[in-house]
Amino acid sequence: MDLFRDRVAVITGAASGIGLAMAKAVAREGMHVALLDVRRDAVLAAATAVSVLGVRAIAIETDVSSEQSVSAAATQVIAEFGKVHLLVNNAAVLVRGGQIASTSDEVWDWVLGVNLYGAIHCLRSFLPPIQAHGEGGHLVTMASVSGFAVGNRQNGVYAASKFALVGLAEALAFDLAGTGIGVSVVLPAGVATEIYENSAQLRGARGGRNLFPSAPQDTQDGMSPDEMAARTLDGIRQNRLYVATHPRTREMLEARHRALMEAHDLAEQWRPSS
């Protein structure tokens, strides 16, 4: 996607962090923006901050885990702007601590409902309008390096949702090849956002507990949301499927892929037992 001016972007999880940074980045390119977030007051303030950049920006309180809520948001976006060209599936929540085997269904339902089904619901509601106008467009899935390598951070539920998002984006790329609609999946590591604090707040509103209610140091010291947005924007311009943002994650990914290739070496060497 190389044309931005006077086109329309829809961004989820847009009230703060990467989502708000993306909204400002595309607004500076001349795109009008629909900011979606479950936090009403925060997303209203975010839309005001984006509108001062000289574009039309609207805030829509949206629970992406609800298909009905997303569908209603899509109706409002089309009524306001007429078209959609860019969808950034960014909304996410995070729970850390505890082991996978002891994680309750309620936690699984919450994390997958926002991180995975949120993206699915938005694709169902916003991809058809992008396809309908024939002007091309782009779909961005904000995954994570945790979608390729889990590590020892006790974030297995979050990682499972991000692994699923990587597969979703790869499948979309096949589905949309040759249509003029690009697909990118972004693989950030630490970004200095309030995802821990926001997730803890949202979790608390559901009567749950987050064992990490404040951001660890590597998140506090992470890449700025603005740099993340700039790197993502370059990926959209260049129509890259994989948008790696943190060079330091190369070693982690190479180690995982070496282990996979070693497994294939053993498969080639296998002989049936006598």
Looking at residue 151, its pLDDT comes to 77
Looking at residue 217, its pLDDT comes to 67
Looking at residue 262, its pLDDT comes to 93
Would you please indicate which residues are annotated as catalytic (active-site) residues? 158
Residue ranges and CATH numbers for the domains of the chain are 8-247 (3.40.50.720)
Looking at residue 194, its pLDDT comes to 82
Residue 1 CB contacts under 8 Å (≥ 6 apart), including other chains: 85, 86, 136, 137, 138, 182, 236, 237, 239
Query: Residue 114: which of 139, 94, 136 has the closest Cα?
Result: 94
| 14 contacts 37 by C-beta, under 8 angstroms | yes
Looking at residue 209, its pLDDT comes to 63
β-strand pairing of 57-61 with 181-187: unpaired
Looking at residue 166, its pLDDT comes to 96
User: Which mean pLDDT values do the consecutive 10-residue runs of the chain (274 residues) have?
Assistant: 86 96 97 97 97 97 97 98 97 84 89 96 98 96 90 84 96 97 94 79 64 63 89 96 92 90 92 81
Looking at residue 154, its pLDDT comes to 78
